[in-house]
Amino acid sequence: MPQPASETIPKKPSRIQLRNRRIILDAALDVFSQHGFRGATLDQIAEASGLSKPNILYYFDGKEAIHVELLNALMAEWLAPLTDLDPDGDPLEELLGYIRRKMEMSQAYPRESRLFAGEIIQGAPRMGPHLSAGLKPLFDEKCALIQGWMDAGRLAPMDPGHLIFSIWAMTQHYADFDAQVCVLMPDEARARDGATRHVEQMFRKVLTP
Amino acid sequence: MPQPASETIPKKPSRIQLRNRRIILDAALDVFSQHGFRGATLDQIAEASGLSKPNILYYFDGKEAIHVELLNALMAEWLAPLTDLDPDGDPLEELLGYIRRKMEMSQAYPRESRLFAGEIIQGAPRMGPHLSAGLKPLFDEKCALIQGWMDAGRLAPMDPGHLIFSIWAMTQHYADFDAQVCVLMPDEARARDGATRHVEQMFRKVLTP
DNA sequence: TCGTGCCTTGACCAAATGGTAAAAAACAAG
DNA sequence: CTTGTTTTTTACCATTTGGTCAAGGCACGA
């Protein structure tokens, strides 16, 4: 058997393929994050990417395939900061560092944040497995870690799960509700830098034993 | 002139009209909150309401009109708790009461919360005026009130605007990201009751001077 | 009971949408 | 240049979608 039977041969992608797939994904991120899955159209993605609609379908198996690919890429990058929580570090500094990274990410990648938020709000129809299989174990692991820190008296006691939810809620809020923030707090510097400082200061107070 | 010229005569709505408009709005809230504006279809609303599509268009001028009506109703109810912040009350108890009411609302009306969230995430295309004209003045007024409390040393000092954002972020999170919460925290009682207690305890600590 | 005006519906429409087929164009290897 | 492959486009299709229209049904006051 020279070539393995009934297996898809990967065939490494050409430079053009790599480039165009990236262009398409970037355009799709714009469109999906702004209109949600059902609200986004292939024509919009085509126009945003500068490619023709059939050409997009040459690179991806369909609208849903693009969306799924975006969510996959998202999860990997999104989970990293939580993964990096170090059991051997100083609890307070570890968590504050996590919060800081999360704030930076939601400011640097608001589109990703909104894409994720939109998907969850709609009941995570295309992400259920990802949540259960990818996020859940990590969440449980870090909950246990934080609980350990609290039991040791190195953090103020509280429910670790709700603590993590609090952090997510606050860090995502500034990305997801940007339109609201911009209307209510027109001073951009106060909104951006103030947010980071406020959130950090707030959690420092909450977490200090 | 028996009847005033060039003015729309209100013509009080019949019982049937009142009932069907309510039914339609309720069904539309289901559909819009789950799929967003562009993702929702009149057929879905028709099926959810048990009325035919043309019949729905008999009661409303179109898809957008239904959506706008929902957002209007939403804003009124949504703003009430903030309006009720009493300058003469005890600062800490006033804010904790506000937080409690907000948590109750996001648990009692998750659809409204998601509808609002979806609209804001998409850049508030149908709510810009509402935000500037309705929410902004109230927001500024209450920011000033809280700032006064802080200046008087009755609350820990912080940016009042960001404080309000924090409250909104936390209270909305449990409604908007319910799908995520349910996966990560399957114990329903811990999720629901724990959330309220956690948020209240957290802000009590943050706000205490 | 009868009509008048409110309510409901089936049939239909134009535009938009996700997707396809095949030919043309661009490109790479010899 | 020639040939085989990859990329792009043109033309097209079936379905869905928001919305219309005219005709039928129904309630309710006289």
Q: Is B200 left (phi over 0), alpha (psi -120 to 50) or beta?
A: alpha
Q: Of all nucleotides in the shown strands, which has a C1' nearest the CA of A60?
A: C19
* pLDDT exceeds cutoff 60 at B92: yes
Question: Measured between alpha carbons, how far is B183 from B201 in angstroms, rounded to an integer?
Answer: 24
CATH of domain B14-60: 1.10.10.60
Higher pLDDT: B91 or A131? It is B91
> Would you call B121 and A121 a contact, using CB atoms and an 8 Å cutoff?
yes
Check CB contact under 8 Å for B174 and A183: no
Residues from chain B that touch A162, judged by Cβ atoms under 8 A, are 194-195, 198-199
How far away is chain A from the Cα of B1, in angstroms, using its nearest Cα? 46
Q: SS3 of A7, please? A: coil
Contact between A71 and A127 under an 8 Å Cβ cutoff? The reply is yes
Nearby residues of B190 by Cβ (< 8 Å), 6 or more positions away: A159, A161
Which tens digits make up the pLDDT trace of B142-165? 999 999 999 999 999 999 999 999
**Which pair of structure tokens corresponds to residue B55?**
């019949």
- Nearest alpha carbon to residue A149 among A96, A71, A72: A96
Range(s) of chain A covered by CATH 1.10.10.60: 9-60
Residue B87 has pLDDT above 70, yes or no: yes
pLDDT of residue B17: 86
d(CA A74, CA B58): 43
Which positions on chain D have an atom < 7 Å from some protein CB? 6-11, 16-22
A115 neighbors A29 (Cβ within 8 angstroms): yes
Superfamily of domain covering A9-60: Homeodomain-like (1.10.10.60)
Closest residue to A159, CB basis, from B168, B180, B198: B198
pLDDT tens-digit map of A191-203? 999 999 999 999 9
How much is the pLDDT for A129?
85
CA-only gyration radius of chain A, Å: 20
**pLDDT of A4 over the 70 cut:** no
User: What pLDDT was estimated at residue A7?
Assistant: 36
Q: How far is A7 from chain B (nearest CA, A)?
A: 34
Strands (E), A110-163: none
Mean pLDDT over each residue of chain B, to the nearest integer: 92
Cβ B9 to strand C below 7 Å? no
CATH 3.40.47.10 fits A70-207, yes or no: no
pLDDT attached to residue B4 = 37
**Is residue A205 predicted with pLDDT exceeding 90?**
yes
Residue A12 has a pLDDT of 61
CATH 1.10.10.60 maps onto chain B at 14-60
User: Which of the 160-189 residues on chain A come under 7 Å of nucleic strand C at their beta carbon?
Assistant: none
Amino acid A16: pLDDT: 76
Q: From residue A152, how far is each of A86, A92, A147, A155 by CA, in Å?
A: 16, 13, 9, 8
The CATH number that domain B67-207 falls under is 1.10.357.10
- Compute the nearest-CA separation of B93 from chain A (Å): 18
